[in-house]
């Protein structure tokens, strides 16, 4: 008897979960779409590019790390010339293949 009740409760829980997903999915989709559109709209307003006199050549070490890639992107978008480096024995990584890195 308890086994049948347990199966029945699990089926009801599954039905409610699926129903909730069908109801909530359109709202989640609209929220994600709105956030994406707003971020693209705001990104167009902001200009991080420095004037030519303020641009520098920057050496970023630790090229094998994702932190380095993030830093190279930020500095490259600001207009700096980015040179990434890594110690011996490490091949070319994602940072070295980035379009924001001028030299590896």
Predicted TM-score (pTM) of this structure: 0.52
Same domain, 41 and 57: no
Report how many domains make up the chain.
Answer: 2
What pairs with residue 61 in β-bridges? Answer: 85
Express as a percent the part of the chain with pLDDT over 90: 6
Show the domain range for 80: 52-97
- Which pLDDT belongs to residue 44? 56
List the Cα angle 103/97/85 in 5-degree steps. Answer: 45
- Which pLDDT belongs to residue 42? 65
CA distance 45 to 43: 5
Q: Is residue 103 part of a domain?
A: no
CA atoms 91, 94, 95, 97: torsion sign: positive
């Amino acid at each position: 008897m308890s086994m049948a009740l347990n199966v029945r409760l699990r089926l009801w829980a599954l039905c409610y979960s699926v129903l909730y997903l069908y109801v909530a999915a359109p709202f989640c989709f609209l929220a994600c779409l709105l956030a994406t559109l707003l971020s693209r709209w705001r990104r167009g307003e902001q200009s991080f590019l420095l004037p030519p006199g303020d641009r520098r050549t920057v050496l970023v070490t630790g090229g094998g790390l994702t932190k380095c890639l993030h830093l190279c992107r930020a500095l490259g978008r600001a207009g700096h010339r980015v040179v990434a480096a890594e110690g011996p024995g490490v091949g070319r990584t994602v940072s070295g293949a980035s379009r924001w890195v001028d030299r590896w």
